[in-house]
Structure 1
Amino acid sequence: ADHGRSADFLAELKNKVERCTTPMVVAGDFNLIRWASDKSSPNVDRVRMRLFNDCIADLALREITRIGARFTWTTK
């Protein structure tokens, strides 16, 4: 994935959620991770991870716990 615009995406998401006046659910595969343990490899972009977590915290979003396999896909 091209993460060159991840910060722009998160800023746009934050803007849209903050303008919403009704309860909402934010869902999707953002191709971003919250924790290093969410990756199957040690290659972690901690700056991007912090941006994502800060956005979630700023918007007071709650992550729905995933049940089942640890990862949603694999290259093997």
Structure 2
Amino acid sequence: VDHGRSATFLAELKDKVERCTTPVVVAGDFNLIRCASEKSSPNVYQVRMRLFNDCIADLALHEIARVGARFTWTNK
């Protein structure tokens, strides 16, 4: 995954959600993480994680809890 445009993506997402005049649901696989425990490896980029969490907080979004598997992918 190329995260070179992650900050731009989050800025665009924030702009679009802030323009909405009705309630909105934001869903998708953004290939971004909120905390280190969401990674299957110890490689965590703190700045990008903070940008994602700040965007979620600024927009007052609430994460829907996952039920079942820890990850949405598998190597098996």
Please indicate the TM-score interval, normalised by the length of the shorter structure: over 0.9
Mark the runs of 5 or more structure 1 residues left unpaired by the alignment.
none
% identity of equivalent residues: 84
SS of match in other structure, 1:37: helix
- Counterpart position of 2:62: 62
CA apart distance, 1:62: 0.2
RMSD: 0.8
Deviation at 1:67, TM superposition (A): 0.3
Which structure 1 residue ranges, 4+ long, deviate > 6 Å from structure 2? none
- Aligned residue number for residue 72 of structure 2: 72
Return the alpha-carbon distance in structure 1 between the equivalents of residues 44 and 5 of structure 2. Answer: 17
User: Mean Cα displacement is larger for which, 3-12 or 65-74?
Assistant: 65-74
Corresponding residue for residue 4 of structure 2? 4
Question: In structure 2, what is the equivalent of residue 15 of structure 1?
Answer: 15
* Structure-2 separation of matches of 1:68 and 1:34: 18
Distance 2:33 2:72 in 1: 12
The two structures have a TM-score, normalised by structure 2, of 0.96
